[in-house]
Amino acid sequence: MAKPIALDRQTSDILERKLRKHLSDEYGFELCQFEALDLLDYLAENLGPLYYNQALYDAQTVLRKRADDLIEAVSAIEKPVKL
């Protein structure tokens, strides 16, 4: 089983305050701190892996491009062989 996504306390507190402010400003919906943290945990559990996996796919794309560039650079310095 994969390790759950966990945020440090400072980041969690910042996100909790931002979530509460957003819900209040945009929807007039008030959450207490506990409810906001519970919602953040829910979102992290259900949406976090989707964003995490997409970040991995994006990183793989960058690494593949870099690997292709390295292979091309090495091929460019190949010496001709006379038999």
Q: Which tens digit of pLDDT belongs to each residue from 18-73?
A: 999 999 999 999 999 999 999 999 999 999 999 999 999 999 999 999 999 999 99
| Reported confidence tier of residue 6, pLDDT bands at 50, 70, 90 | confident
Q: Tell me whether residue 4 is in a domain.
A: no
Q: Tell me whether residue 3 is in a domain.
A: no
Give the orientation angle of helix 48-76 with respect to helix 33-46, to 10 degrees.
40
Residue 16 CB contacts under 8 Å (≥ 6 apart), including other chains: 33, 36, 37, 40
What single DSSP character describes residue 63?
H
Q: Tell me whether residue 44 is in a domain.
A: yes
The total number of structural domains that make up the chain: 1
Q: Tell me whether residue 55 is in a domain.
A: yes
What pLDDT does 1 receive? 66
Residue indicated by tokens 């997409």: 54
